[in-house]
Structure 1
Amino acid sequence: MRAGILVSLCLCISSFLSVPLPISAQGSGDNSAASAAGRITAATSSLNHLSDLDAGFLIPDTFDRVQEAYDRYTRDIREGKSTRDIDRSHTEFDAALVLARERLDRVNELLMVPLEKRAAAQRANAPAMVPDAFEEAESRLERAISRLEDDRVSDAFSQGQEAAALYDVARSSVIEMSLIGSAQIGLAEAEDQDWDRLAPASFAQARRLVDEVTGALDRGEPLSAALRNKAQTADYAVRRAIEIAAQVDGLRKDPGNWERMLLSQEDLARQAADMAGVGADFLANDPQAIMTESLRTLAARQDSLGRLLQLAEIDAAALRAEVDSLHQAIEEQQIRLSSMVESYQQDLQRRKEELDRERRELRDYLYEKTQLDATAQAQERFSDDEAIVVRDADRLTLRLIGLSFQAGRTEIPRGARGLLERLGEFLVLYPQTRVAVKGHTDATGAEEKNVTLSKSRANAVMQFLADQSGVETERMTSSGLGSAQPIDSNNTRRGRDRNRRIDVVLTFTRDL
């Protein structure tokens, strides 16, 4: 650290000396090119650098000579004296600066330790906190500096060492005041008022703690957290001792206080006895003995409870272990059940898929069988002269050639009612089918009228099936196609009779 401060000071001095000198110092031939203000500014800057290095304190006599040379030099410039006079005064100023640098180097080298101690004391605010101690150290350092300027190096070094010790004392005093000052003041006041006689044990303990803290500070121990805590403990001990002394003093002055204190002790002892379940006979025992017995009983009870608690903790640990084992068993069982459920679900899914497939196959089979049965039934129920049975994909068409309407008429012929009744019975057998009743005409007459006529005939047949055979109307639709789809020639009477027909189309669904 000392070397660091010395290096820093040397660097500051070097920077001071590196400031450009007045123009006149660079050669008298340049004086005419430099302004008077510029030369004064350069000289002032050099002087200020020297002042910043605390030269006024460290080398006071030398610094005074530098200031005198500065005053002469700047005065010659301001008064416009000759170049020769200005050069001469500048040479004197420059020589004073060089000497100041040498003296500063010497002071910082020989008095490095006290200067470091001085800086540490200043950082601790010693000038304000302990001004007398700091001023004494300052005075000793000034003497060392004075001896050094007189080239009395040995005396200067000795005085510097004394100054360093005094700076340490000042700094330690500040630290001690901040840590333990209030406790020391309290002890001093207690001694002045003779309070330590009223509470000797408390003050002895407090004084011991204060001495331990001050001893650590005197030994230069660092301000650790432990030392700060001990200082706080010492401060509390002093304040507590003062409080106890005040209470003792109050008891001493008023005898009634003794009675109140004794009764208070008995009350506390009685409360402890009640808690412990022991007798409180103050005629046979003093409060302290009853309190001691009560505390002993309570301690024994606490020990018993502690043992019971330990046993309970052991039982609880065993229960926790058992619970953990049960949890593990449950988890394992859940894993097995999950595996079984997953297997069952997979098997159920397979069975469901198989059942769906079988259902589809059965539906397809029944669908096909129903159509075949319906076709066979139709062929069996209706003769070739009554109906032509045509199966196409999912439809079954019955061309009722046996139902021939009179030309231009929509009434169902009486002879065809039996055919329609048997048709209704047939349709009732297959309720899952949709029924489309389509009317047709021959080519006689206008087609528009034929379409209307065929539609009316289809409606008449559909109404007959609903009324006479009970076929649901929701299943049936009707349409008129006119002469657009003949099944025979319209050039013959027989052909025209066959074309004036009704087609009943059954559409099968796969719904079972």
Structure 2
Amino acid sequence: MTKFSKKTVLILVFQALALLASGAAHSQDAKERLFRQATGAFEVAKNKDARRLAPDTYASAMRSYQNAEKKFSQGRTVSSVQKDLVKATIGFEKAQIVADLAAQKMGTMIKAQKDASRVKARQYSTRNWTRAQTYFRDAVSMLEDGSQKYALRRAAEATKIYRELELEAIKAEYLTDTRMLLAKADKMKAKRYAPITLRRAKDLLATAAIELTENRYDTDQPRSLAREAQYEAQHAIYLTEYLKNFKSRNRTQEQLILHWEKPLQEIAAAADMQANLDQGYEALVRDLVMYIETGGEQSQELGQQIAERDREIVALGDQVNELSEQLGGVANAQEALRRRLAAQEMLRQKVIQIESTFERFEAKVFRDSNEIYIRLVGLSFNSGSSNINSANYGLLRKVENAIEIFPGGRVIIEGHTDSFGGDDQNFTLSEQRAESVRQYLLVQMGISPEQISSIGFGETKPVANNETPQGRAKNRRIDIRIVPNLDLSQT
């Protein structure tokens, strides 16, 4: 049993003793307190998709959890219930570790399955889909059993089948449908009313067909091209219908422009802005984009604050109950409360300090639990390169300052790419870029190599839509993750 698991056992034992002391072992409140540790571990495992990525470990833990629920409902002793909860908690924690490992080592297979599902590949070859799914389950089971070498081999086989299925589905789903739409557009004489859009749709379709043939194992770009071709074909049809209708009513060009200004005016009104269009729409659009982006950042910040408060409430409640009921020390509980709140406030102030270091176009700073992320939106590399440009030295100097705010903290440099390019190529490039940043910081800061590490995730962790140029730009990124050397229970 690991050290962490022993801690888990002690927590559950203390909870059980508290329940016995309260004389309310089988109330709903007692159940929530007794099951809290196991339920929390279950929720984390579920969010990590452990049911799929660590099936045996997850299933075993779930059986223990369900046994505990059954015993509790039957009025069995707390120690009997607690015994199953310990097994469940340890099992769910192990499932989390296995799921994380699967996501890291077999991210390409997981993404390939997701991509194939998105284009409904299953309906084009049930037999091959079933074979790929079998290989998927084999791979995660082998990894779960510790046979990583064979697991990765099986994952590669599953990935290959998923990609082939996706290619066939794209050809059938997108290319055939787009050709039908283009035939309809030609029949409607779209060339007269929307020639630019129609030409773009045809060019995109031709390029997508070439990419599907020449780059069979890089489906992201041809899929994106095929979808865009389908969109532009439908767009040409819409514009043709709209302009034909407009022309039939003898409308003027001025009326057309005024008509299209109305949606902008309505959006501006919803944002409580004055829609000044006397100099064109560019300034208004810029202000609206800024308004939306700021609102999104504020929403994310509020969400983090709420999550942080929820964690504090649960943790503080546990601490108060343990200290006041088990130790009988109200003074101890108050002191622990004071220390924890002071530590959380100190961490919050340090995050604010880091945020003030960066300009909006340089980085976004946010928290995930007690870890701090610095998303370097202003850091760029030349295409296909991992060399750091001298133009980024100023931004990286600010990163150094941010890291120094948490002396002794661990730093993980995470590299990410968009979905264009081969999966292996993207993994390699993301690893090389992350390592370049790590080496730069090591040289500049003189910190211990053990304190800072790097990892590449390729295209497996997007933060935006890979179907648009703007989304792909957001996905090509370096994240700096700082894990503070901070004990919030003692500080």
Does the alignment reach a TM-score above 0.5? no
Higher RCO (CA 8 Å, separation ≥ 6 residues): 2
Larger Cα-atom Rg: 1
Q: TM-score range by the shorter chain?
A: 0.3 to 0.5
TM-score of the aligned structures, taking structure 1 as reference length: 0.32
TM-score of the aligned structures, taking structure 2 as reference length: 0.33
